[in-house]
Amino acid sequence: MNKPISSVWPGRPYPRGAHWDGEGVNFAIFSVHAEMVELCLFDPKGKSEIQRIELKERSDFVWHCYLPELRPGALYGFRVHGPYRPEDGHRFNPNKLLIEPYAKDIVGTPIWNDAHFGYSIGSKQEDLSFNRRDNASFMPKCRVIDQTFNWGNDQSPDIQWQDMVTYELHVKGFTMQHPGIPDRFRGTYAGLSMGPPIEHLKRLGVTTVELMPVHTFFDDRYLVERGMKNYWGYNSIGFLAPDSRYSASGDISEFKTMVKMLHKAGIEVILDVVYNHTVEGNQMGPTQSFRGIDNVSYYRLVADNPRYYMDYTGCGNTLDMQQSCVLQLIMDSLRYWVLEMHVDGFRFDLASALARELHEVNQLGTFFDTIRQDPVLSTIKLIAEPWDLGEGGYQVGNFPMGWAEWNDKYRDSIRSYWKGDGGLLGELAQRLTGSSDLYERSGRKPHASINFICAHDGFTLHDLVTYDTKHNEANQEDNHDGNDNNHSWNCGIEGETDNPEINILRARQKRNLLATLLFSQGVPMLVAGDEMGRTQQGNNNAYCQDNAINWLSWELKPQDQDLLEFTRSIISLRLKHPLLRRRYFFQGRSIRGGDVKDIIWLKPDSTEMSDDDWNQPFSRCLGLHLIGDSLFETDKYGQRLIDDNLLLLINAYHEDIAFTLPEFDEHSCWDALLDTFDGTGIPETSHYQVGQKYSVHGRSLVLLKQSKTQ
């Protein structure tokens, strides 16, 4: 657009945002307390403001107009007039160009300048002062899009929960150094849609990728001034716009193509979404969108002093789920990503913040009720990070039906057990079998537990067995950031070493942790690169490192290649054996009136564990006998699932333990499928008689299958 618009029609209040209908563009923006709203149109480069158009029509607090001459590609923003009374919660400042909440494409990143702030930086009045500087030349611009895309016969792979193997990845970090991706496509959606990275996922056995935030986000000013970035992206500002920094083409169709190609490979796409707060921070933050559109309507403010923000997120503000405009925005955003972008589900960052109706977390809050009755969102995968930073925010196990949860109790228990901590057998048993203590009472199934050893936040798997303490010096925060309670063990030496014995032990510990994860009931989640020994050099909070600390290296050392092959093998074993991915919790008793239990907990002499045995603080070894005949389950086509008996032997003690292989059928024997003691995972001997002793090496895990001898 290079010339002013001559025709302005009233338009409609819905749909919100900028909507191209094939003939013109309708604009609609919500603000209860605004006194005037102006639409600002810019030249194709976003440098010069060509025209301001006052939105004179208002319906139910939605300001709207229709421009029949405007076309896709037009750049725009809003200026909103109203009272500037921070002490009453109002922070309108028409000198600030604002990102529109429903923008589907946002071009550029902010150039940090004092003009972005509604108050005068350095004023003795702080945020009570008023800044008249115009920030338009420093602000990204919204762009009108044409949503047309040829999806062909694209369909969701529709992976059953219990069959999922989830893989958390960062679009840029996963693709930035991949040798099979041309340079111009590295770090982008286009790169992730190419054959080599998808082939890696398929060969590994991944069914579902969980993308770290791709909603448009801004880098914090303090990070930019330090020469760093908000690499993780948990700083959203555009809930319907894919971040353009990950786009090689600058077109949102690139994101759609990525989803289409992953679906074609049978891989689901889940988005990590941040609806709990925005980039605008607390009262001293910038005015770039919601704050300037209607601060009182979008944010949770302190009731008796609305100058300040309720902060349940640790990021300065919290979006107000009690407000209908916020709830509608989030629901519209979610539906947009499902219907227009074809994603298969969402992982909600700090999801407890979404459940807060007053101050306390309410698991039956409006947000959950609204999703439950929605015909689109009630059918997709919903995963909660079940905590926030406010009082009562830790809600693991308390989310309602239809939700799965990141289970940090699983993470901490498994880490502590393999580290060698005692008195954990009972806790270990709960986590291995799907955490029924957390999820069964609410009617949920084992897949409600998203099991993970590592995630983006914290140590990588390699660093977990290499460092006792965090080493976050690169973040320039004097190593004060990041969690100090990591349940990690460096195996005897802090950091990297040439000591062969230490490195052998570390490699075994990685195999132990991965095998435990894949052989546990629930949904396993790997973090990208753990299957290849990725390190962050001991940094357990690498949120600001857009460099090789976070980018995956695809140049594998021999030990990394061995770990990759091992990971492929254990994922394959999981997918071959339905007993390792049951839909229902074990009962620990006879099934359907028969004499067969579904699970038997064994001591090394093959007798059943007693109550006293569970409570022994020195015990660090355990056997799980999983009974195939108890598997009264079917696949999604209604076919009965069949499996052999399995025996999982776990020894976190530093010395070998001789396990007597249980007698279950006189016409059977035991075949060893996996032993983590050896670097390949291949057992020394594969065939054993019932009653024979199997020596489980110190700090090792073994999986055996019962077979018929005749």
CA-angle at 515, arms to 560 and 202, nearest 5°: 65
* Range list of H helices, 374-525: 408-419, 425-432, 436-439, 461-464, 500-518
435 Cβ neighbours under 8 A, 6+ residues apart: 397, 407, 409, 410, 446, 448, 449, 522
Give the strand pairing for 523-527 and 449-452.
parallel
DSSP lists the bridge partners of residue 67 as 25
In a 3-state reduction of DSSP, which class is residue 421?
coil
Q: Is 629 a catalytic residue?
A: no
With beta carbons less than 8 A apart as the criterion, state whether 497 and 503 touch: yes
Per-position b or e across 114-143, b if 16+ CB within 10 A of its CB = ebbbbbbeeeeeebebebeeebbebbbbbb
Rg (CA), the chain: 27
Return the H-helix or E-strand segment holding 335: helix 324-339
φ, ψ at 590 (rounded to 5°): -60, 140
> Which of 49, 349, 388, 675 is labelled catalytic?
349
With beta carbons less than 8 A apart as the criterion, state whether 337 and 269 touch: no
Give the strand pairing for 345-348 and 381-384.
parallel
Of 189, 194, 229, the C-alpha closest to 211 is: 189
With beta carbons less than 8 A apart as the criterion, state whether 656 and 698 touch: yes
> Which of 49, 311, 385, 530 is labelled catalytic?
385
Give Cα separations from 398 to 320, 352, 427 (angstroms).
21, 10, 19
Q: Tell me the C-alpha distance between 74 and 90, whole Å.
A: 30
Q: Tell me the C-alpha distance between 232 and 211, whole Å.
A: 10
In a 3-state reduction of DSSP, which class is residue 58?
strand
Q: Tell me the C-alpha distance between 255 and 240, whole Å.
A: 12
Of 412, 419, 416, 417, the C-alpha closest to 492 is: 419
In a 3-state reduction of DSSP, which class is residue 708?
strand
Q: Is 385 a catalytic residue?
A: yes
Provide the annotated active-site residues: 349, 385
